């Protein structure tokens, strides 16, 4: 009952020219609700690919993926969008805020999409929690990297998703900012009871997670 | 295509569309400008056409001069019947005729063949006569030998108020100048005319044919009477009178309405061309805009937007844009109306006011909507290629136009609607369709040309000249703007050159007929007994003048095979003029040289006591007449039956003596007649109009050169308007090109930076864009000239049926100036990228 994610014999292959590259091989994985997991592994081992599969942003070549007991590998693009919209928040290494939207608008976007009553107000409350009160109406270009990532986190968690996916969230940040971001993330999942799957190279950050998964050559070790 | 879950999704998308639009519009400025210009032109055409037609309809009664017109043409008519009408309605009599007016008391007096309208006190029944000074109009009714002349006449003969002029051999005082009269439709619209009191007619010697007499009675019903009942009543009164023609307000100015429709059809086609050229630019700019927003689209997908909704977001932005532009374009088109009004009121005395028509607004919006949709479908469909997973990989591939079977089908379907919209309901659907056909053929050819150039330049590997190499690289690179440049420039230049060639051919055709074929003068109204006197007078002034003189009678076609033709032939028939009113006819022993017989035989001499008729072949075809058909003609009150015995090919444009109907001389010689003459003088200066008038006061003289000058000046005005409007296509083409260069700007800037680092001088960069331009422009202009030659030849020979000739000067002149402007534009737009700042570029790459 407590299962959030279930991956059964999941394979991912990429076709480059005539060659088939096997990126993920027979992945089996079960995660529970409220669990925090860190994924570590060498560059090119398939960490990002795994996150993309879980987030429904890439289709598995074979195997089954269940999210909350629903088999998402069978669903249409739009239905996956629907699940992602409600349940999954994603944080990227390079932040990716919409450049001509202010901080508040970037966060409000997901809230609005999930039909929140007062998206701007909620967005402001969140940003305030993350110490960005004085940056509400700044465009991403006017924010520092750390600030941008805080806005991106706010965007990902605004609709209180069941699962947060993060791909090297601190990879583009200095130590000070990295610490701040990790504190915010872990504090948040503790308070809201969300689950977190995070790819990171940062050992300290990886150790903060309850469970650590190591990937090598497309296989879970 | 677009999946919508519910209305709240739609609302959300709309909200974001508004927000994004308000922040993005600067990036799509070229879309805004081109869309605005083309919609503005279209709006202006629609608005002016509608305003004109509304003016004509609103003033139908004024234009006709009453609720009904009783036209007796050359005869005074049956006054008993007119008096019957007077019992229940107001009747105003009006007689128009043409005669000679000359100046007096000058060193060199001048004379002019002028239309004079005599009116009674009741005139005008509707509308107003505008004149100056005050009281002048009353004077022409009360004082004999007074006259009002129009503004054009004051200029032509340089006459002032209170000056004395001669009408035939009578002296008249000019008491004022008329600005406008309400009933222009039955009257000469352009040209010289005068207004006089009804007593004038008795003073002058007016003979039948030469003065082109026309008796009309305008009827105004009493305010409370039912117009329909009275119309029937009047119809009834005149039902047995064959000579009368009744006209109603709805037929007033029908010829003018047709000209307006034709002209506006043509202009709409030009403006839709401009719009389609703009479409090419729109597709290009939009693609770069979406590429620019690549990341935002991916982010939206990542947070759970459906691809369909994101596409909808872009469509909505476009339509918000279109809506705003349409409003602006439509409203600003009203500003053009006063200019058109000035143009028109000078010539026609019509005053137009802008009228708002929701239907027109919708039509313009729909046209814009279709064009936008057609050109944005392959662009916006490219959004499907954006993957949210790109956000993990940090790569954003450049999007390409995306054509699926479905989107191509939709585009073709929408294009068909667009074409139908401009074809159906136009005056000449076949021409519209032909135009679209030609347009798309050109588009495809220019597209293929661009591919051909790229293909063949790719084959050529390397030159020693580095500038040349760079320019070839520019033309052939993957994201080169060569196809866009060639298509938009090619279409614009083709259109402009075609119209220019048509225009110059047209002018030449008119001008050339003056010295060669045409006589110098037409003389009308030579009475039976005046023939010798006329010939002697001419020869005494210029012994070498060549005179052609033919007899002439006036006759009306009462019946064709026993049936009144007016019951089945409508005014929109090309040959309606033959039955519409009395025509002048002649007779000849031999077949006229330039009128070959194409069917039937010349006169049947065994039937000399019967009327035989030779008919213009085109008229026969239009009116569906066969050899052996019987015309019942009314000649001076007698009804005579005649048999159609042959068809002649008549070319009225040669300005020699031409008649739709010729009679067999053996029969016609007994009909009372007068003469028509043309004269070509050996030396035109020897001919003295004033002296001629002294000898034959009722003679009417029409100087061909004057007449042609008038036609040419009207044509010139039309031609200028047409050229101006077609220049818009070039302007739009140039905007498209410059926006394409801007879109390419980042690449160019980087390229120039690399050149700079490599030590490639600025001069060489400029030189390479010059070579690039020359390669493209020469191929474009050659193809455009080819199309323009074919197009203009077709238009001249098949639509206007005139001679076509190649005009190198115009092509060189126009080609060079377009080339120069394009080159300047390209250099100026490129200049921006000539001085790249190294630091930001390196950091970003
Ligand atoms: N679209 C693709 N086509 C081919 N190979 C790919 C593609 N995307 C990723 N790969 C390959 O898949 C492997 C795993 O990539 P990724 O999941 O990004 O690794 P990680 O995030 O662990 O560094 C890499 O070797 C990468 O080169
Ligand atoms: Mg990775």
What tens digit of pLDDT does each residue of B221-246 get?
888 888 888 888 888 898 887 778 88
In 3D space, the residue among A38, A83, A82 whose CA is nearest the CA of residue B309 turns out to be A82
The sign of the CA dihedral B474, B475, B479, B485 is positive
* Three-state SS at A22: strand
**Cβ(B169)–Cβ(B697) below 8 Å:** yes
Residue nearest to atom 21 of ligand 1 (CA): A48
Domain-located, residue A1: no
List % helix, strand, coil for chain B (3-state, nearest 5). Answer: 55, 15, 25
- How much distance in Å is there from the Cα of A46 to the middle of ligand 2? 7
Ranking A99-113, A140-154, A158-172, B334-348 by mean pLDDT, the lowest is B334-348
Contact A105 B394 (CB under 8 A): no
Residue B295 contacts A, CB cutoff 8 Å? yes
Terminal CA-to-CA distance of chain A, rounded, Å? 26
Question: Measured in whole angstroms, how far is the alpha carbon of residue B134 from the centre of its chain?
Answer: 38
Contact residues on chain B for A82, CB-CB shorter than 8 A = 304
B108 Ramachandran zone, left/alpha/beta (phi>0; psi -120 to 50): beta
Which of A65, A58, A72 minimizes the C-alpha distance to A12? Answer: A58
Nearest protein Cα to ligand 1, atom 7:
A14
- Does A97 contact chain B (CB < 8 Å)? yes
Bridge partners (DSSP) of residue B781 are none
Closest CB to B304: pick one of A82, A97, A100.
A82
Q: What is the pLDDT of residues A33-57, one digit of tens each?
A: 999 999 999 999 999 999 999 998 8
- Give me the pLDDT at residue B2, please: 42
Q: Is A116 on the interface with B (CB under 8 A)?
A: no
CA B234–ligand 2 middle distance (angstroms): 95
Distances (CA, A) of B724 to B270, B637, B747, B823: 11, 53, 36, 21
Name the CA radius of gyration of chain A, rounded.
17
Atom of ligand 1 nearest to the CA of A41: 22
Q: With respect to residue A27, please indicate whether it lies within any of the assigned structural domains.
A: no
Å between B383 CA and nearest CA of chain A:
14
Query: Does A78 reach chain B within 8 Å, measured CB to CB?
Result: yes
With 0-12 CB in 10 A as exposed, 13-18 as middle and 19+ as buried, what is B166?
Answer: buried
Pairwise CA distance, residues B654 & B307, whole Å: 68
Give B-chain residues touching A92 at CB under 8 angstroms. Answer: 391-392
Contacts of B125 (CB under 8 A, 6+ apart): B65, B66, B67, B90, B92, B218, B219, B220
In eight-state DSSP terms, residue B210 is T
Hey, is B103 helix, strand or coil? strand
CB within 8 Å of B188: residues ≥ 6 apart: B115
Burial of B170 (0-12, 13-18, 19+ CB in 10 A): middle
Give dist(CA A79, CA A56) in Å, integer. 10
Among B299, B384, B387, the strongest candidate for a mutation testing the A interface, having the largest count of A CBs within 10 A, is B299
In a domain, A168, yes or no: yes
Q: For residue B665, how many other CB atoms are within 10 A of its CB?
A: 16
A184 reaches B (C-beta below 8 A):
no
Handedness of CA A193, A198, A203, A207 (dihedral sign): positive
Q: Coil, strand, or helix at residue B114?
A: strand
B181 DSSP assignment? -
- Minimum Cα–Cα distance from A86: chain B residue: B304
Enumerate residue ranges in chain B where pLDDT < 70. Answer: 1-6, 184-190, 207-210, 345-350, 461-462, 511-518, 653-656, 757, 759, 835-845
The secondary structure of A162-196 as a DSSP string is SEEEEESTTTTS-HHHHHHHHHHHHHHHHHH--EE
Q: Which atom of ligand 1 is nearest to the CA of A215?
A: 22
- Contacts (Cβ under 8 Å, ≥6 apart) of B367: B39, B42, B272, B275, B418, B421
Write down the number of H helices and E strands in chain B: 28, 20
What ipTM was assigned to the predicted interfaces of this complex? 0.87
In terms of phi and psi (left: phi > 0; alpha: psi -120 to 50; beta: otherwise), the region of B168 is left
* Interatomic CA distance for residues A216 and A221, integer angstroms: 7
H runs (alpha helix) in B696-761: 704-743, 745-758
User: Is B316 exposed, middle or buried, given 0-12, 13-18 or 19+ CB atoms closer than 10 A?
Assistant: buried
Residues of chain A with Cβ-Cβ distance to B308 below 8 Å are 78
Please tell me the distance from the alpha carbon of residue B442 to that of residue B463, in angstroms, as a whole number.
32
Burial of B421 (0-12, 13-18, 19+ CB in 10 A): middle
Nearest CA to B726 out of B258, B44, B49, B41 is that of: B41
- Per DSSP, B797 falls in state I
Q: Do A96 and B299 touch (CB under 8 A)?
A: yes
- In the structure, which protein residues have their CB atom closer than 6 angstroms to any atom of ligand 1? A 14, 16, 21, 23, 41, 43-49
Half-sphere exposure of B129 (CA within 13 A, CB side): 26
Q: What's the pLDDT score for residue B158?
A: 87
- A91 Cα to the center of ligand 2, angstroms: 12
CB-closest option in B8, B15, B306 to A81: B306
**Contact yes or no for A100 and B391 at CB 8 A:** no
Question: In 3D, which of A205, A170, A173 has the Cα closest to residue A186?
Answer: A205
Question: Is it true that the peptide bond before A179 is cis, omega within 30 degrees of 0?
Answer: no
DSSP string across A42-53: -TTSSHHHHHHH
The phi, psi pair for B561, rounded to 5°, reads: 50, 40
> How many Å separate Cα B295 from the centre of its chain?
50
- C-beta of residue B35 within 8 angstroms of C-beta of residue B322: yes
Give the global pTM: 0.78
Residue B747, classed as helix, strand or coil, is: helix
**Cβ(A53)–Cβ(A24) below 8 Å:** yes
Report CA(B99)–ligand 2 centroid distance (Å). Answer: 98
Contact A86 B392 (CB under 8 A): no
Residue among A24, A67, A96, A111 with most chain B CBs within 10 A, to mutate: A96
Cite the DSSP H helix spans in B334-476. Answer: 337-348, 358-380, 390-393, 405-423, 429-459, 466-476
Closest of B679, B697, B675 to residue B584, by C-alpha: B675
Taking 70 as the threshold, does the pLDDT of residue A84 lie above it? yes
pLDDT tens-digit profile of B37-73?
Answer: 989 989 998 898 888 888 888 888 888 888 888 888 7
Buried b (16+ CB within 10 A) or exposed e, A11-45: bbeeeeeeeeeebbeebebebeebbbbbbbbeeeb
Distance, CA of B383 to CA of B389 (rounded, Å): 14
> How far apart are the C-alpha atoms of B365 and B201, rounded to whole Å?
56
- Sheet order of strands, A3-16 included: A19-32, A3-16, A62-67, A70-71
Distance from CA of A2 to the nearest CA of B (A): 25
The alpha-carbon gap from B400 to the nearest alpha carbon of chain A, in Å, equals 20
Q: How many independent structural domains does chain A possess?
A: 1
Q: Residue A67 falls within a domain, yes or no?
A: no
Domain with A157, as residue range(s), is 35-56+75-220
| b/e per residue B619-643 (b: at least 16 CB within 10 A) | bbeebebeeebebbbbbeeeebebb
Q: Does the CA dihedral B137-B141-B146-B149 come out positive or negative?
A: positive
Residue of A43, A49, A93 to test ligand 1 pocket, by largest number of atoms within 8 Å of CB: A49
């Amino acid at each position: 009952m407590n299962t959030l994610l279930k991956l059964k014999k999941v394979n991912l292959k990429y076709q480059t020219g005539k060659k088939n590259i096997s990126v993920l091989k027979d992945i089996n994985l079960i995660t529970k609700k409220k669990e925090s997991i860190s994924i570590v592994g060498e560059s090119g081992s398939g960490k990002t690919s795994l996150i993309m599969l879980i987030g429904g942003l890439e289709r598995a070549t074979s195997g089954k993926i269940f999210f909350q007991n629903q088999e998402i590998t069978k669903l249409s693009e739009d239905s996956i969008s629907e699940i992602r919209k409600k349940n999954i928040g994603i944080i990227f290494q390079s932040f990716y805020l919409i450049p001509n939207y202010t901080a508040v608008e970037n966060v409000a976007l997901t809230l609005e999409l999930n039909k929140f009553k007062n998206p701007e107000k909620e967005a402001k409350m969140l940003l305030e929690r993350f110490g960005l009160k004085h940056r509400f109406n700044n465009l991403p270009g006017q924010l520092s990297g750390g600030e941008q990532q805080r806005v991106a986190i706010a965007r990902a968690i605004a609709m209180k998703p069941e699962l947060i996916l993060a791909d090297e969230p601190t990879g583009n940040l200095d130590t000070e900012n990295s610490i701040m971001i990790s504190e915010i993330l872990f504090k948040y999942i503790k308070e809201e009871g969300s689950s977190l799957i995070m790819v990171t190279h940062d050992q300290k950050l990886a150790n903060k997670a309850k469970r650590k998964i190591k990937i090598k050559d497309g296989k879970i070790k | 295509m677009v999946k919508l879950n519910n209305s709240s999704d739609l609302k959300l998308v709309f909200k974001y569309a508004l927000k994004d639009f308000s922040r993005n519009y600067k990036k799509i400025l070229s879309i805004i400008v081109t869309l605005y210009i083309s919609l503005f032109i279209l709006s202006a055409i629609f608005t002016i056409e509608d305003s004109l037609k509304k003016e004509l309809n609103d003033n139908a009664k004024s234009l006709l001069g009453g609720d009904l017109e009783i036209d007796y043409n050359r005869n005074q008519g049956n006054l008993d019947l007119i008096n019957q009408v007077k019992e229940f309605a107001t009747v105003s009599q009006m007689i128009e005729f043409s005669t000679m007016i000359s100046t007096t008391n000058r060193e060199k007096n001048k004379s002019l063949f002028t239309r004079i309208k005599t009116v009674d006190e009741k005139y005008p029944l509707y509308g107003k006569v505008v004149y100056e000074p005050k009281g002048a109009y009353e004077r022409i009714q009360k004082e004999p030998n007074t006259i009002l002349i129009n503004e054009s006449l004051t200029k032509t003969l340089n006459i002032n108020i209170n000056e004395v002029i001669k009408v035939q051999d009578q002296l008249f005082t000019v008491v004022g100048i008329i600005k406008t009269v309400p009933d222009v439709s039955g009257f000469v619209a352009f040209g010289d005319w005068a207004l006089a009191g009804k007593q004038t007619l008795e003073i002058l010697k007016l003979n039948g044919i030469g003065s082109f007499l026309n008796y009309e009675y305008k009827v105004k019903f009493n305010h409370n009477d039912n117009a329909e009942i009275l119309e029937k009543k009047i119809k009834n009164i005149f039902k047995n009178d064959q000579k009368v023609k009744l006209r109603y307000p709805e037929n007033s100015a029908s010829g003018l309405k047709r000209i307006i429709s034709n002209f506006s059809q043509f202009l709409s086609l030009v403006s839709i061309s401009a719009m389609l050229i703009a479409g090419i630019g729109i597709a290009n700019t939009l693609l770069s805009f979406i590429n620019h927003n690549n990341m935002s689209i991916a982010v939206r997908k990542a947070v759970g937007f459906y691809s369909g909704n994101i596409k909808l977001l872009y469509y909505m932005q476009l339509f918000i844009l279109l809506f705003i532009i349409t409003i602006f374009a439509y409203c600003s088109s009203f500003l053009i109306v006063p200019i058109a009004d000035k143009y028109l009121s000078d010539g026609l005395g019509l005053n137009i006011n802008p009228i708002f028509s929701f239907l027109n607004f919708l039509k313009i919006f729909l046209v814009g909507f279709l064009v936008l949709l057609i050109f944005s479908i392959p662009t916006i469909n490219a959004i499907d290629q954006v993957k949210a997973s790109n956000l993990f990989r940090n790569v954003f591939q450049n999007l390409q136009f995306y054509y699926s079977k479905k989107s191509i089908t939709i585009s073709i379907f929408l294009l068909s609607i667009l074409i139908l919209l401009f074809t159906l309901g136009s005056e000449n659907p076949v021409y519209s369709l032909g135009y679209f056909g030609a347009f798309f053929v050109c588009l495809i050819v220019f597209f293929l040309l661009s591919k051909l150039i790229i293909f063949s330049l790719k084959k050529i590997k390397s030159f020693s000249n580095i500038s040349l190499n760079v320019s070839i690289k520019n033309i052939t690179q993957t994201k080169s703007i060569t196809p866009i440049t060639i298509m938009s420039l090619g279409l614009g230049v083709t259109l402009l050159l075609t119209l220019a060639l048509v225009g110059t051919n047209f002018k030449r055709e008119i001008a050339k007929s003056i010295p060669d074929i045409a006589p110098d003068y037409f003389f009308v109204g030579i009475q039976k007994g005046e023939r010798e006197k006329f010939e002697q007078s001419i020869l005494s002034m210029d012994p070498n003048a060549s005179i052609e003189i033919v007899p002439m009678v006036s006759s009306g076609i009462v019946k064709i095979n026993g049936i009144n033709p007016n019951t089945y032939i409508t005014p929109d028939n090309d040959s309606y003029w033959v039955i519409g009113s009395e025509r002048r006819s002649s007779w000849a022993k031999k077949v006229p040289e330039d009128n070959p017989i194409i069917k039937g035989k010349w006169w049947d001499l065994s039937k000399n006591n019967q009327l035989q008729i030779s008919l213009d072949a085109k008229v026969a075809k239009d009116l569906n007449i066969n050899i052996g058909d019987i015309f019942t003609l009314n000649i001076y009150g007698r009804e005579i039956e005649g048999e159609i015995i042959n068809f002649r090919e008549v070319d009225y444009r040669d300005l020699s003596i031409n008649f739709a109907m010729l009679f067999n001389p053996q029969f016609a010689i007994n009909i009372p007649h007068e003469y028509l003459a043309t004269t070509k003088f050996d030396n035109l200066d020897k001919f003295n109009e004033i002296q001629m008038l002294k000898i034959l006061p009722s003679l009417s003289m029409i100087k061909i050169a004057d007449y042609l000058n008038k036609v040419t000046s009207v044509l010139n005005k039309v031609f200028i308007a047409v050229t101006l409007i077609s220049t818009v296509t070039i302007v739009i083409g140039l905007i498209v090109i410059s926006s394409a260069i801007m879109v390419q700007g980042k690449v160019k800037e980087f390229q120039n930076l690399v050149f700079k680092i490599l030590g490639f001088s600025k001069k060489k960069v400029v030189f390479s864009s010059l070579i690039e331009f020359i390669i493209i422009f020469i191929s474009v202009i050659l193809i455009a000239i080819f199309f323009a030659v074919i197009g203009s030849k077709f238009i001249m020979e098949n639509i206007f049926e005139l001679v076509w000739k190649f005009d190198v000067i115009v092509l060189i002149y126009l080609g060079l100036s377009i080339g120069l402007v394009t080159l300047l534009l390209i250099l100026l737009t490129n200049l921006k990228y000539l001085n790249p700042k190294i630091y930001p570029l390196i950091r970003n790459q």
